[in-house]
Each structure stands twice: as C-alpha cells, then as structure tokens.
Amino acid sequence: MNTIKTKLDGVLIFEPKVFGDERGFFMETFNAARYREAGLKEDFVQDNLSFSRRGVLRGLHFQNPNAQGKLVYVLQGEVYDVAVDIRLGSPTFGQWAAVVLSAENKRQFYVPAGFAHGFCVTSETALFAYKCTESYRPSDEGCVLWNDADLNIPWPIEHPDLSAKDKLGIPLAEFPRDRLPVYSAGGV
C-alpha cells in the first residue's frame, strides 16, 4: 500500500494494492495491521454507505464533541473530496486538502477527527463508503458552509444539489467557537 501525506498533518491518501487480471480485481479495503504500519492507528466503530447523483454536494460536516475520523473511498463513480482543519488553535486552521476519489483509482482518504469533511459527485452517480472512529450523534453535528469565501475551495461544480441542512451551513469565521474542536498536539 502506498501512503501519500497531504499538506495537513494527519490527512492521508492511501493507494491500496490492487491485484487484477482479465476477470476483474481484488483489493483489501481495510486491514488494521497494515493501516497501523502506514500511520493510521485509530479504531473504527461504524461503517457508512451513501449513494448520490451527479451534482450532489454533501458537507462540510463535522461532529463535536465526539469527533469522528473518517476513512473514505468510492465503490462506484467519482467524487471530489475535501477535508478542512477546523480545530481552534491548529497551525493549519482553515486550511483544506482535496483529492479525487473514484472506483477507477481506488484511492482512500483519511480525514482525522477535528476536521470538517465534504464531497461532491462528479460522475453520473457515486457509491461512497466510509469508516468512522466514533458513532454518529446528531446532537454533536455541525456544518461549515460549503462555499465559504474564506476557505476558497475550488469545487468542480457551480450550483450543487444541497440538502436543506447543508444550505444552512455557517462560514467558519462565524461559527460559534464553543462548537468547534480544539487542537492539541497529537490529536483533537
């Protein structure tokens, strides 16, 4: 497995080994020992799957307290995936990293706890899978505005299809500070 570090500490791109022939392919989507060796030491407690059509944008979501780390990947289709550091006091607060994830490239993206996460679908449809380090808790959920001008994320779509909840996202600079995670060296 190839591990690619991004400009944000802890945000990683994984390229699993794929074994293929004319019949198809095989790959491990997760192996705790192998991912630990690659630097991902978190335990996962929940797996999720979402299906969306072209133009759907989901995010930028986070959970605090009980912040979730997420290992995300695409089973069918393609998405533009983004992680934003929203940890108060972090040296990279307000910075983001992005990657194209697809069924074709088989890349995985690790979004650590304390980061907001979002993706938009660039293919006809996408089947998106992710592992979480904490269980979902609706009362802990927050949403940073997807097109926050200060973040200046170059989403590959101008007019995304958003949920009612995502339309109510708040710019990071206006987010109540007591709702954001706090940075500490070595974690959230």
Enzyme catalytic residues: 61, 130
User: CA 171, CA 145: separation in Å to the nearest integer?
Assistant: 5
For 64-96, b where at least 16 C-beta lie within 10 A, e where not — what string? beebbbbbbbbeebbbbbbbbbbbeebebebbb
Quick check: 130 and 83 in contact, CB under 8 A?
no
